[in-house]
Amino acid sequence: MTDEMDRLIRADMSGDAARLADFEDAVWARIGERRERVRVGQVRVAAVALALAIGVTNGGLMLLGPQPEPSEMRIFTVSAGLSPLASLDVRG
């Protein structure tokens, strides 16, 4: 559309006045589209910032919460060190 606008600007004003009639409307339409894209971009940035703030807050609160007591079933966990490979320092 930029090429078309440049061509319309260079056109002879006396004979091509009818072609320039919609020129201003086209310019304002493009300005409106750009403003809308900027607004959508700002909404996206705000949504990401809000999600980040909620995630950091939730993670911080989880760290402050009470830790569960170790259960008797912990001997079956991977971190119990009872694997035959534990003595070989092999991590899986």
DSSP assignments along 37-87, one per residue: HHHHHHHHHHHHHHHHHHHHHHHHHHHHSPPPPPPGGGGGSGGGS-STTGG
Range among 23-27, 35-39, 73-77 with highest mean pLDDT value = 35-39
* pLDDT of residue 19 exceeding 70: no
Percent over 70 (pLDDT), the chain: 65
Rounded Cα gap, residues 14 and 27, in angstroms: 21
In 3D space, the residue among 11, 32, 28 whose CA is nearest the CA of residue 20 turns out to be 11
Q: What is the pTM of this model?
A: 0.48
Phi, psi of 15 (to 5 degrees): -95, -20
Range among 16-20, 26-30, 52-56 with highest mean pLDDT value = 52-56
* pLDDT of residue 55 exceeding 70: yes
